[in-house]
Amino acid sequence: MKKVNIILTIILLLTGCSGNRKSGIESDVFIAVDVTASYPKKELILQDFMDVEYIALETGGEFYTQGVVLDVGMDIIVVKNNVSDGDIFLFDRNGKGLRKFNRKGQGGEEYRNIGYTILDEDNSEIFVSNRNNLLVYDLSGNFKRSLRYNEGASYGHIRNFDRESLICTDGSFDTGDEADKPSFVIISKQDGSIIKDIPIFCQQKQPDTKQINHNGFIVYAYTSNFPPNSVIPHHNSWILATNSNDTIFRYLPDQNVIPFMIRTPSIELNNAEAFLYPGILTERYYFLQAQKMEPEVQGTSPRDVFVVFPKTHLVYDKQEKSIYEYTVINDDFSTKTLVDMSQKTINNEIAFSLKLEADELVEALEKGQLKGKLKEIAAGLEEEDNPVIMLVKHKK
C-alpha cells in the first residue's frame, strides 16, 4: 500500500469535509458525499438537461438483433444479441445495417464470448476482450492482431483513450495480494504493452466474495474492487473510481491525478461498507449511486436464489451545490417513465444508450402514451422489428 495515497486521503478528509457535508458543499478541489446520509427527493425531466435521439435499427435479411449496444461512434453503432451467439452487428447512425460478423470459437483469432468491445473509428478497428488478451478486427470482422495482457494483469472497463492507446482498470489485485500496484493503466493499441501506469493505488482492498447463510444453505455474493462505471470520459479528462479508495479521481491531460469527489465516512476510519459509484456526469448534474455492501438474498432455494445490494440513486446539483435522491423522467412518454442515470458512459458526445423494444413501443403507441419523435418512429414499427436505440447526448 502506498503511504502517500493514505496521507492524501486523510488530508482530504481533514481539509475538505468540514462544514455541512450532507448538503454536498463543493470545495475548490472536490465534492464530499456522505453515503450514509438521507437526502431530499428531486424529480428531473431528462430533456431539460440532455438531448435525446432515437434510432430505429433496420430489420431484415441478416439484420435481426436483440440490440445490446456495445459502442457508438460518430458514424457507427455496434450491437450484439443477449444470447451468447457471437454475432456482432454494425449499423450506421441512421439505423441502416452495414454488416454482421461472427468470430466466436476456440482458435487464436476467435473470441469465446463477446466481452468489452471498443469501436476505434479513427483506425477502422474493433477491439474485443477475450480473457487474457484483446482481439483486434477490422470493421468487416477480419482478424488483424492479438494484444496480450501484461503478465499477471486483469484488464477491464477498457475504453478508447486516443488514437494510439486504450485506458483500463487492472484488477489483478482482486484475486491476489498485490494492493501495492496501480489500479489503472494506459496500454498500446498495437501490442498491448503498458504505456503508462496511472498512480492510483488501493487504499484498502475489498473482499471479492461474501458468504451468507440463507435458509440453511450457503450463498456467495460476488463483489469487486471496481464499480460498474470505473472509467468515465469527462470533457478532456477521465474520472477513475475504485471501491478500494474513498476518493474518486480525475486524470487530467497533463497526466496529473487530482481528487474529483470523496465519499464519507472513510473506509479506513469507520470500517464503512457503503460505496459511492459515479454515473452520468453532465454540465449541471453529477449522478451517483450509494451502494451498501449488505447483500440481500432473494429466493427460497439454491436454484432460484439471487443476491442484490441496496442502492440509493443520488444527484449532485452543481448549481445549487446540494445533493438529492433523484428520479429522472423521459418526457417523450405521457406515462411516468423513469430513466436510470447510472448507465455506462459512452463518450463525450453520447452520455449513454438504452434500447426500447419494438413491441412495447407499438403497444404504447396504441395506448396514446408516446409523444414527439418517438411517436413518429413507433408509427413505422411492427412488433417483430429490431429495437429502437435511444441515445442520450450531452447538450451542445
Find the mean pLDDT for residues 297-301: 75
Query: What does the pLDDT look like over 162-196, one tens digit per residue?
Result: 999 999 999 875 555 555 678 999 999 999 999 99
Q: Do β-strands 322-329 and 311-317 pair in parallel, antiparallel, or remain unpaired?
A: antiparallel
Give the confidence band of 26 by pLDDT, cuts at 50, 70, 90.
very low
Asked if the bond preceding 207 is cis, omega within 30° of 0, the reply is: no
∠ Cα 148 238 201 (to 5°): 65
pLDDT higher than 90, residue 378: yes
Which has the closest alpha carbon to 386: 100, 47, 50, 74? Answer: 100
For the full predicted model, state whether its pTM sits above 0.75: yes
- The DSSP secondary-structure symbol of 165 reads E
Give the confidence band of 243 by pLDDT, cuts at 50, 70, 90.
confident
The alpha carbon torsion through 69, 71, 77, 80 (nearest 10 deg) reads -40
pLDDT given for residue 226 in this prediction: 86
Per-domain residue ranges of the chain: 22-58+208-394
Find the mean pLDDT for residues 357-374: 97
- What the block records as the C-alpha cell of 164 is 494510439
- What the block records as the C-alpha cell of 146 is 492479438
Q: Is 32 or 212 the better-scoring residue by pLDDT? A: 32
Coil, strand or helix at 160 = strand
Residue 77: exposed, middle, or buried by beta-carbon count in 10 A (0-12, 13-18, 19+)?
buried
For residues 163 and 86, give the distance between their C-alpha atoms in angstroms, rounded to a whole number.
27
pLDDT higher than 80, residue 334: yes
pLDDT higher than 90, residue 309: no
pLDDT given for residue 7 in this prediction: 35
For residues 231 and 240, give the distance between their C-alpha atoms in angstroms, rounded to a whole number.
5
Q: How many beta carbons lie within 10 A of that of residue 349, not counting itself?
A: 14
- Asked if 64 and 91 count as a contact pair (C-beta separation under 8 A), the reply is no
pLDDT given for residue 270 in this prediction: 58
- Asked if 229 and 342 count as a contact pair (C-beta separation under 8 A), the reply is yes
Q: What is the mean pLDDT of the chain?
A: 87
Which has the closest alpha carbon to 240: 298, 272, 201? Answer: 201
pLDDT given for residue 299 in this prediction: 74
Find the mean pLDDT for residues 126-131: 92
Query: What does the pLDDT look like over 253-273, one tens digit per residue?
Result: 999 999 999 998 888 775 567
Give the confidence band of 18 by pLDDT, cuts at 50, 70, 90.
very low
pLDDT higher than 70, residue 343: yes
pLDDT higher than 80, residue 67: yes
- Asked if 58 and 91 count as a contact pair (C-beta separation under 8 A), the reply is yes
For residues 239 and 276, give the distance between their C-alpha atoms in angstroms, rounded to a whole number.
13
- What the block records as the C-alpha cell of 231 is 472509467
Give the confidence band of 351 by pLDDT, cuts at 50, 70, 90.
very high
For residues 24 and 321, give the distance between their C-alpha atoms in angstroms, rounded to a whole number.
6
- Asked if 95 and 58 count as a contact pair (C-beta separation under 8 A), the reply is yes
pLDDT given for residue 387 in this prediction: 98
pLDDT higher than 70, residue 25: no
- What the block records as the C-alpha cell of 389 is 436505440
